[in-house]
Structure 1
Amino acid sequence: MSHAAVLCLAMLLDAAMGEPRWMWDRAPHPAVLIGRVIGKADARLNTGENRFAKGVALCVALGVGAWLLGSVLAAIGWLPELLLAAILLAQRSLVQHVQAVGDALRVSLGDGKRAVAMIVSRDTAAMDQSDVARSAIESAAENLSDGVIAPAFWFLIAGLPGLLIYKAINTADSMIGYRTERYEQFGKAAARLDDLLNWIPARLTAILIAVTYRTLGDWGAIRADAALHRSPNAGWPEAAMARALGIAVSGPRTYDGELRDFPFVNADGRRTVTPDDIDIACSALWRTWGLAVGTVLFFAVV
């Protein structure tokens, strides 16, 4: 069975099943296992001299290990590929986490803050309703790229080995890819590799959103807005989502008590953002996913 056919089935299985709690209450999620390996490497290697070289060595080890594991599982047959790919895609769980913020925000601002704190790293104490809703929508757009389109893209390109390499590097970036005193050197390789692996998927995600919402004619504005973002990749799906919903995203926010004056993406968009906009963003996630599945199905048939 072709990579495209397996991927199409995996995307459908993920959308139908998501991440069953009964399963992950009994066994660790593969992403958790990857995280444990990275955590142990961080504790043992991120000390003393040559931290950058040690970080490079960790990324090489993760890549080689992921490739070997993926190759062995793929050699068994298409079923292990299908099941693991479905597990490592995150469409249904992404929509559930984002929708939970909108549902909580309708109950109270405090409930909304607690819900959004589960999916973003910024400070939530001083957020108003628009800040909470905007944060959820930004997370939806960015994680659509990182958690759905990028892993699907790398599976389509290189099968299960490609998907596992992507997840390993992406997990490493989320754990050690920070510009802090502790991780500036050790996590630099993971951060740069993650930027590289997400370069095409981020722009592909923006195209899929724009096609779905017929805003592809605004591509020049989307590209200009994406350039305002602090990330070389996250700005693309966020800019496309902002145009699709007609809202402004990004903007000033607080991390660890420090206000950072980031520019707004789609600055002319509406700045009052509500739970209804979160509902529309969740619909956008499914519509974009549907276009992605249709595209993969086309490749599978052709």
Structure 2
Amino acid sequence: MTAGPTKTIAVFAATGSQGGAVADALLDAGAHVRALIRTPESDRAKALAERGAELVRVDVDEPDTLVSALEGVDAFWFMTTPPGGMQNADTAGETKQGIALADAAAAARVPHVVFNSVGGAERASGVPHFDSKYLVELHLKSLGLNTTIVRPVFFAENFTWMAPTVEDGTLVLRLPIPAGVPLQMIAVRDVGIIAARALLDQASVPATIEIAGDELTGGEIASVHGDKAGLPARYEALPVSVLDGQDDMQAMFRWFAETPAYQADLEQVRRIHPGIATLRTWLDAGQAPAAR
């Protein structure tokens, strides 16, 4: 993937997980990255600058900073997250953030916007942090912006904190998902690569696409981890009640059980990004910690 004639592409939250993956893929392709960040003094920001990224301070609560940061760019990537994290997700705040970014793109007359939403956002999932992203999608549409919507599924990186444990020599994975229900997943690095493809060559990616790199049941996920660790493995499905008090997360895991939940076409995604990781190749690449 190369940028061809050098493009200036704005990346919001370029020091974050998804934004960092997008910025990395764009820099690898030779694009000029304008990193829109809150704290240009951070170590992550300085590392981007050392690779040639242009650092621009922005604040979503200061619309003028957003508009000026987007002036003259060829394309703009952004995503949203609930302010304060997922424990008590501020989904209204997330939608407000996305609307501010979309409005700034419209005011700056950005030629192409890529928004990273979430798989299933359009399917009335009832998951609050899915619905909040879909409202941003609808706002982008209402503005008439030239937009690509990328909808990633469950991140493989979630297994860094939902990691299996080793008990009496057996690797044990426990999740609040029924044993026979498949779960689609994708590595954040691959999310960045696909978004970068859309930014560099809009025609190479559908206008709206759900993206995944693998689809496995709980037992299959446990087996892959066990093979990597060289241990026997088993899966134990937990009741969704273990997430009582975490309403947003509980709604998401309840939705996972209502198959089909995520509905990415893995073959279509692999045609766009042939090197996309499966859970096995992601683990083999050393991108997750060992079982606890």
TM-score normalised by the chain length of structure 1: 0.29
Relative to its length, the structure with more strand (as a share) is: 2
TM-score normalised by the chain length of structure 2: 0.29
